[in-house]
Amino acid sequence: MNVMSSQTSASTGGNQSGLRSAKRLLGVAFGSLIMLLSVPALAAGAAYEGEHFEADLNDLPSMQRGFKMYVNYCIGCHSLQYQRYEKTADDLGIPHEIALENLVFTGQRIGGLMVNAMAEKDAKAWFGGKAPDLTMIDRIKGSSYIYNYLKTFYADDSRPLGFNNLAFPNVGMPHVMAELQGIQRNNVCLQEPVIAENGGEKRDPLSGEPITEEVCDNLVVDEGTGSLSAEEYDQVVADITNFLHYVGEPARADRNRIGVFVLLFLVIMFALAWLLNREYWKDVEH
Ligand code: HEC
């Protein structure tokens, strides 16, 4: 807020000396820098660590599958209000007719924004809160957060919808992919190998068998309750996360591609400049 106000006064203060407005400008620049730096710090405030997930913008098939999952499982509640179907299809290499037939369920045209018809007051009544627009979720909370969020729904009878979530404790969203993942339980006790100080598994010196201990912080899916295997479900979650990473900044994929050419150009220019320099100094005594 104060960044905005100092900006306006810097531009309207006609009788201020150049030095003072320059100082203000510097202040604005510095303020913006501080704000930028503090964003990751805020985002990192979440308590749950979970797995690290690195989104992959080069994996087109994964983002296409993520797009499909998103329009089937998420868009009814979560709009992507800054994203158009047409740009998404173009960026992800999907022909318009195929996209219209398989991915646009709202009767919209291909140029439409990816919005939905859920009224805010309904959402409040049904889930106790509004389902947020997810266009920026990847930029605000990061890919690892989305990945872990979609993987860590677990059964919890104390919650109104019967589910809780490790990445978002007491979440109001139902586990919409429960039929795929199955019913997951938290704090399941399993026998796990004891790790010695050197990083290896501890073994019984007589029998050679690994020594195990009971560890009770495991998430385990009840066998046979989901239609996908654990690996397949992980892939679905990775696909949706990759897709939301793309949506967070559609220009990022272009930028990565252009960046490679820029670097190649610099390498070639450097080689030419070096050769030219050598040529110039060839006949000079030094
Ligand atoms: C039935 C409606 C509904 C559906 C379908 C749904 N969500 Fe949600 N989602 C919600 C609500 C409501 C919240 C907010 C929960 C809260 O504030 O407690 C939420 C929260 C989230 C959040 C956390 C946002 C944050 O700020 O941390 C993410 C991420 C998310 N949803 C992703 C998805 C994805 C991906 C899908 C599709 C696989 C999906 N949701 C499907 C209703 C839904």
Spatial contact of 144 and 46, defined as CB atoms under 8 Å apart? no
pLDDT of 29 reads 64
Among the listed residues 157, 81, 160, 63, the one whose alpha carbon sits nearest the alpha carbon of residue 117: 81
Residues whose beta carbon lies within 6 Å of some atom of ligand 1:
73-74, 76-78, 123, 127, 129, 131-132, 134, 137, 141, 146, 149-150, 168, 171-174, 176-177, 240
- What residue's CA is closest to ligand 1, atom 28? 146
> Which residue type sits at 195?
I
pLDDT of 56 reads 94
CA of 137 to the centre of ligand 1 (A): 11
> Which residue type sits at 249?
E
Which SS3 state, helix, strand or coil, does residue 265 take? helix
Domain ranges of the chain: 2-43, 60-183+222-248
pLDDT of 82 reads 92
pLDDT in tens, the chain (286 residues): 444 444 444 444 445 555 666 666 666 666 665 555 555 444 444 568 899 999 999 999 999 999 999 999 999 999 999 999 999 999 999 999 999 999 999 889 999 999 987 777 787 788 777 899 999 999 999 999 999 999 999 999 999 999 999 999 999 999 999 999 999 999 999 999 899 888 889 999 899 898 999 999 899 999 999 999 999 999 999 999 999 999 998 888 788 889 999 999 999 999 999 999 999 999 887 6
pLDDT of 255 reads 85
Fold classified for 60-183+222-248: Cytochrome Bc1 Complex; Chain D, domain 2 (1.10.760)
Which SS3 state, helix, strand or coil, does residue 74 take? coil
- Number of the ligand 1 atom closest to the C-alpha atom of 69: 38
Mutate to test the pocket of ligand 1, among 63, 78, 236 (most ligand atoms within 8 A of CB): 78
pLDDT of 103 reads 94
d(CA 163, CA 157): 7
d(CA 88, CA 156): 37
Which SS3 state, helix, strand or coil, does residue 161 take? coil
- Number of the ligand 1 atom closest to the C-alpha atom of 74: 37
- What residue's CA is closest to ligand 1, atom 3? 77
pLDDT of 107 reads 87
pLDDT of 248 reads 94
Helix-strand-coil percent breakdown of the chain, rounded to 5? 50, 15, 40
pLDDT of 26 reads 62
Tokens of 262: 């820029």
Spatial contact of 176 and 198, defined as CB atoms under 8 Å apart? no
Q: Considering the entire predicted model, what is its pTM?
A: 0.76
pLDDT of 35 reads 58
